[in-house]
């Protein structure tokens, strides 16, 4: 018998009353927010919060501002419009995002898929079957990204079954898993899980850390288990106001990531999603961080900085401009210390 249903983390915090056992909160409005956008905080993540209002608190604890500014869209990136079947987003020619779970170990307050996360949307086996059939029918798809929700909220057997079916499709060259579990529920990463995933190489896992305080011995252990079976690990960090919108915090985060064998892949600019406007920062903030990272830390630690265009335009990397002036075959280029050098072009 294959166990069905999601991996359950029973002892997570999901109500104001439970939260009040750990922090003095008098914020009755939390209930109003939770009604619209559910709360879930793992005991592990809760233990990392140092004080009321810090960068980890902000990511996990509901805020009344989630109910403000309803002019922002639920789905500004047109994910639903670009879904040929309910669980699959096909925006680029050669790759798809396959939403195989609506559940996450923790509900991040800034989530760009707030509209669906934690909802009891129908996630019938038939919708997974439809997604797999779509991939099978579209020869141009060579990269399948399992996302959600969090794919590692599925139990090992369900995940194995999905991976097996995708792997059977000849034109699929690589599989990626997007998961925040190594950060928020590191004990979910077991040898059994790693053995399940490794059968389907080449398989990549992009995880999600936003703050240096999230990098703990438990997360390090989780990442080692995955890296030891040959799964390359990347990180997709979201730039968030009051959490990591500082060059020094980002530098520390990127350095700590490579120490736990995770290669920073993207810093995502926060999307204009309803319920998350209090996390948004100007693009200039992101560019300043990027400029600071360049030269001050190993190139290995530097991710690309991405904005995702509204209406399904896709991701675009934003870059700092180091060419100060150009005159035919002569460029004046600025280095990371702000000094100018003349560069002879060909």
Stretch that binds ligand PLP, among 88-96, 113-121, 252-260, 269-277 (CB under 6 A): 88-96
Instruction: Determine if 56 is a binding residue for ligand SF4 (CB under 6 A).
Output: no
Does 108 qualify as catalytic in the annotation? yes
63 is catalytic: no
Site for ligand PLP (CB under 6 A): which residue of 46, 89, 144, 262?
89
Instruction: Tell me which of 33, 48, 97, 108 binds ligand SF4, using CB under 6 A.
Output: 108
Taking CB atoms, the residue at the shortest distance from ligand PLP is 91
Closer CB to ligand PLP, residue 9 or residue 87? 87
Per the annotation, the verdict on 308 as an active-site residue is yes
Query: Among ligand SF4, ligand PLP, none, what does residue 149 contact (CB within 5–8 Å per kind)?
Result: ligand SF4
Tokens of 325: 């002036």
Q: Where are the alpha helices (DSSP H) in the chain?
A: 16-20, 29-36, 43-48, 55-60, 125-137, 156-167, 181-184, 191-198, 217-228, 247-259, 283-296
Give 19-82 as a DSSP string.
HHTTS----THHHHHHHHS---B-HHHHHH--STTSHHHHHHS--GGGGS-TTSBSSTT-TTTT
State the DSSP string of 156-182: HHHHHHHHHHHHT-TT--EEEEE--HH
Binding residues among 196-255 for ligand SF4 as defined by CB under 6 A: none
- Residues β-bridged to residue 304: 266
Is 143 labeled as catalytic in the residue annotation? Answer: no
Question: Known catalytic residue: 271?
Answer: yes
d(CA 212, CA 181): 16
Task: Mark residues 299-318: x for contact with ligand PLP by CB under 6 A, - for none.
Answer: ----------------x---
- d(CA 194, CA 294) in angstroms, rounded, equals 34
Told to judge if 111 belongs to the known catalytic residues of this protein, a careful annotator would answer: yes
The two three-digit tokens of residue 179, written as one number = 């998961």
- Taking CB under 6 A as the criterion, the residue among 40, 44, 95, 188 binding ligand PLP is 95
State the nearest-atom distance from the C-beta of 142 to ligand PLP, in Å: 11
Q: What residues line the site for ligand SF4 (CB under 6 A)?
A: 104, 107-108, 111, 113, 117, 148-150, 180
User: Where in the sequence numbering do the catalytic residues fall?
Assistant: 91-92, 95, 104, 108, 111, 113, 271, 308, 315
């Amino acid at each position: 018998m294959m166990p069905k249903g999601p991996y359950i983390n029973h002892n997570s915090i999901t109500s104001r009353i439970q939260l009040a056992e750990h922090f003095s909160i008098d914020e009755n409005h939390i209930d109003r927010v939770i009604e619209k956008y559910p709360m879930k905080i793992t005991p592990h993540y809760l233990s990392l919060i140092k004080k009321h209002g810090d960068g980890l608190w902000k990511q996990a604890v509901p805020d009344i501002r989630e109910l403000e500014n309803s002019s922002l869209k639920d789905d500004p990136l047109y994910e639903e419009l670009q879904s040929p079947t309910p669980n699959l987003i096909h925006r680029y020619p050669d790759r798809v995002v396959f939403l195989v779970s609506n559940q996450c170990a923790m509900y991040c307050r800034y989530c760009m898929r707030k509209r669906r996360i934690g909802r009891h949307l129908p996630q019938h086996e038939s919708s997974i079957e439809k997604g797999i059939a779509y991939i099978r029918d579209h020869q141009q798809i060579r990269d399948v990204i399992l996302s959600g929700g969090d794919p590692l909220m599925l139990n090992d057997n369900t995940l194995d079954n999905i991976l097996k079916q995708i792997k059977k499709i000849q034109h699929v060259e690589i599989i990626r898993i997007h998961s925040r579990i190594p950060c928020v529920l590191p004990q979910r990463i077991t040898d059994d899980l790693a053995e399940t995933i490794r059968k389907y190489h080449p398989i990549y896992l992009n995880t999600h850390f936003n703050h240096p305080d999230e990098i703990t011995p438990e997360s390090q252990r989780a990442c080692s288990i995955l890296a030891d079976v040959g799964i390359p690990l990347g990180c997709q960090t979201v730039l968030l106001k009051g959490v990591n919108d500082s060059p020094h915090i980002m530098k520390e985060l990127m350095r700590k990531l490579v120490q736990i064998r995770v290669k920073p892949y993207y810093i995502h600019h926060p999307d204009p999603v309803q319920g998350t406007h209090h996390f948004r920062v100007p693009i200039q903030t992101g560019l300043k961080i990027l400029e600071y990272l360049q030269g001050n830390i190993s190139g290995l630690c530097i991710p690309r900085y991405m904005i995702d265009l509204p209406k399904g335009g896709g991701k675009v990397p934003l870059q700092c401009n180091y060419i100060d002036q150009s005159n035919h075959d002569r460029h004046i280029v600025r280095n990371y210390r702000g000094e100018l050098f003349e560069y002879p072009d060909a």
